[in-house]
Structure 1
Amino acid sequence: MRTSNMFVRSLGVFVPDIVTVEQAAREGLYPAAEIERFQQIGAAVAGDVPAPEMARRAVLDAYERWGESSPRELDLLLYPSVWHQGPNGWQPQHYLQMHLLGGHVPAFEIRSGCVGMISSLELAASYLQADQRRETAMVVSADNHGTPLVDRWRMTPGAVIGDAACALVLGKEYGMAELLAVNATTIPEADAVNDGGYPLFPPDATVGRGLSFGDRHEEFRQRLLKAHGTGIHLTIQKTMMQQVEQTLDEAGIGLADVTRVAFPHGRREDLDGQMSWLGIDEDQTTWDYGRRVGHCGAVDQFIAFEHLIATGGLVAGDHLLMVGFGSGTSVAAAAFRVLSTTPVTKGSVTRGAHA
Structure 2
Amino acid sequence: MRVENVHINSLGVALHEWVSAEQAVADGLLGPEVTAANGLTGTHVSGDVPAVDLAVSAARTTLERSKLEPDEIASHLHSGVSYQGPVGSYPPGYIQRELGLEDASALYLQQGCNGMLGTLEVAIGQITGAAETAAVLLTTGENFSSPEIDRWTGFGQSYFLGDGGAAALLSAEEGFAEVRSLHAGLLPALEKWHRGEGPLLPSGEPGSMADMAARAERFNETELSLSETLERLSAFDLGIIHRALVDADLNASDLAKVVPIHMDGRMIEHSVMKPLGLPMSKSSFDFGKGAGHVGGADVFLTLEHLVRTQEVGPGDHVLLISQGPGWMCTACVITIRELPVWAV
Deviations 1:138-195 (A, max 9, x none): 1111111111221101112132110111111111122100001111111111101123
Q: How does 1:228-243 map to 2 (within 5 A)?
A: 231-243=228-240
Q: Distance in 1 between matches of 2:60 and 2:207?
A: 35
Contact 1:13 1:164 in 2 (8 A): yes
Deviations 1:31-74 (A, max 9, x none): 233232322110111111111111111111011122x2233320
Deviations 1:237-277 (A, max 9, x none): 22212211111111121111111001111123321222222
User: How far has the Cα of 1:29 moved from its partner?
Assistant: 1.5
Aligned twin of 1:296? 294
Contact 1:58 1:167 in 2 (8 A): yes
- Alignment CA distance shift 1:6-1:229 (3 Å): closer
- Match status 1:84 vs 2:83: yes
Letter in structure 2 aligned against 1:57 = S
Letter in structure 1 aligned against 2:111 = S
Range with greater deviation from structure 2 (271-280 or 247-256): 271-280
Q: Number of paired residues? A: 339
Range with greater deviation from structure 2 (268-277 or 92-101): 268-277
Q: Distance in 2 between matches of 1:143 and 1:136?
A: 24
- Match status 1:7 vs 2:4: no
Contact 1:149 1:208 in 2 (8 A): no
User: Gaps spanning 5+ residues in structure 1: where?
Assistant: 345-355
Q: Distance in 2 between matches of 1:197 and 1:281?
A: 40
Aligned twin of 2:135? 136
Report the secondary structure of 1:207's partner residue: coil
Contact 1:119 1:183 in 2 (8 A): no
Q: CA RMSD in A?
A: 2.0
User: Gaps spanning 5+ residues in structure 2: where?
Assistant: none
Contact 1:13 1:167 in 2 (8 A): yes
Report the secondary structure of 1:114's partner residue: helix
User: How far has the Cα of 1:315 moved from its partner?
Assistant: 0.8
- Alignment CA distance shift 1:149-1:196 (3 Å): farther
Q: Distance in 2 between matches of 1:229 and 1:216?
A: 12
Aligned twin of 1:190? 190
Report the secondary structure of 2:223's partner residue: helix
User: How far has the Cα of 1:132 moved from its partner?
Assistant: 6.8
Q: Distance in 2 between matches of 1:133 and 1:216?
A: 42
Aligned twin of 1:348? none
Runs of 4+ in 1 over 6 A off after TM superposition: none
TM-score when normalising by structure 1: 0.90
- Alignment CA distance shift 1:184-1:276 (3 Å): same
Report the secondary structure of 2:174's partner residue: coil
Q: How does 1:69-108 map to 2 (within 5 A)?
A: 69-108=68-107
Deviations 1:89-108 (A, max 9, x none): 11110111211143410011
Letter in structure 2 aligned against 1:79 = H
Q: How does 1:280-319 map to 2 (within 5 A)?
A: 280-319=278-317
- Match status 1:257 vs 2:254: yes
